[in-house]
Chains A and B, each alone.
Chain A
């Protein structure tokens, strides 16, 4: 463990220098670590209210990140090409509220005051998952395939 940690730190230091070297040449600014202005409201996010151009960090139009139903359902496709733009508004607690490794409280229980959010597993999902899981087990697998499965194992032994 210690040997691996040391290797990681050395490797990290070398690569950080490399990153700085490569990126310093580039003129395109990175995504700011935090959105520079306060965002009004919280029920609907549409970057297009202020941005009409391309994000210099994500290198995609801000319009792509409008939080429409399609975006919310398929945000993982975007996130797998980079998390920086997400991180300027959402901290780890936001993502890991659902994408956890050992979560006990369902997101809709924690956020019972936010019915406007598209949270997974609303209602009595112990019952409902029998239908959803039979039809499309891949939708369960992404989060429960080899993590966050304590509740699964209570019945699936």
Chain B
């Protein structure tokens, strides 16, 4: 299990953020805080597993997790909504992290969606993807589009990421995006992002470009690129050409490239810094995926990916994959098999992978089985094969409550033999219609 860290008061900031959002909510809807559309979801997980560590006695772990999410829409009959998501852990036996408790506030924000023109505001803690931004932040986001298709979005606040908030100085993030959209034909955007912090001696400064273009029929080009204004170089680019020549066919080919020293300049994770990696390297990837609905409910997937490095130390690799998925029981169940092979210049990067899974949901029951194996060309820690099998059974006790349990078996270079158990209680309450949220 992961480690929990408590540095430099993210909890205090989180509390402030929540308090501000809730106070604002109460101020806006003082005596009649009523929501026409409420969904509430609680998922409780109890895991159990053991670890035999070299030179140590056997440790037993039983972490209890609670994941809570709530969405309240149309507050007071207005286009305002409030969204919440967070989780917490309490270890019932040995500590799984640096302490016996941990948790995270993922989201807590007030949102305004204007009925026309896609005007939007978010205030609080939220997950934002907008141009160059891919952040969880405490702050504000505003977006609007004019009738001629020109639009603007701006955001500002404090990054919520645990690592970044551990830095003593520089804790703000802001930026925006200017875009033009013509319905059904194109959307073009240019964005800018600044994050104050010690990113290998520099602030994070990125200029982003994004494109969606459908020049004719079922042909679509989508892509994005990021220019690192701190290192003054194109850091990352990714483009995808999608074609749907028939209703059951989705073919896409793409290209991705990034330079380590420019793309990873903003990292605070030693895994992306020298000497763990050679930051003079560059990766160029070409990939393709074909989805073909052979007959109704049966889809075949064929994929390929070629990865090339500028430096010879890592070597190049090519992955090929083939899979078939069958959907049945009114889209409630699926079964699939897949196989993949990775051939590489270096044996240590080459492997084969096979997977099979199936679910079965008669009435109130649900069963699932998933098996995965990897066969490495070069042994890892003296082991060439890895196996992972998960069996699951669940029962819907009431319309809003479902209980299920999983048993997992793993044999791999890390585990001689590992069994883990999980009990899951899912509670869902929804007063409105719509998607699954």
Contacts and interface: CB of A to CB of B under 8 A. Distances in A.
B305 to A, nearest CB: 9
Interface string B317-361: 100000001010011111010000010100011010001011100
B392 A43 contact: no
Contacts of B271: 133, 137, 140, 144, 149, 152, 156
A104 B289 contact: no
Contacts of B404: 113
Interface of A: 1, 4-5, 8-9, 11-12, 15-16, 18-20, 22-31, 33-44, 48, 54, 56-57, 59-61, 63-64, 66, 68-71, 73-74, 76-84, 88-96, 99-105, 108-110, 112-116, 122-124, 126-128, 130-131, 133-138, 140-142, 144-154, 156-157
A78 B140 CA distance: 21
B119 interface: yes
Contacts of A78: 212, 222
Interface residues of B, number: 169
Contacts, number: 422
Nearest to B336: A116
Which 6 residue pairs across A and B have the least CB separation, nearest first?
Answer: A41-B331, A89-B435, A23-B117, A26-B117, A147-B161, A115-B357
Interface string B126-160: 11111101101001101111110000001011101
B413 interface: yes
| Dominant secondary structure at the B interface | strand
A4 B172 CA distance: 10
15 contacts: A1-B13, A1-B16, A19-B114, A27-B116, A28-B183, A71-B250, A88-B435, A93-B107, A96-B136, A105-B47, A113-B366, A123-B388, A127-B412, A135-B307, A152-B269
Contact of B2 (A63, A64, A151): A151
Given A23-B144, A69-B301, A113-B366, A30 B119 contact: yes
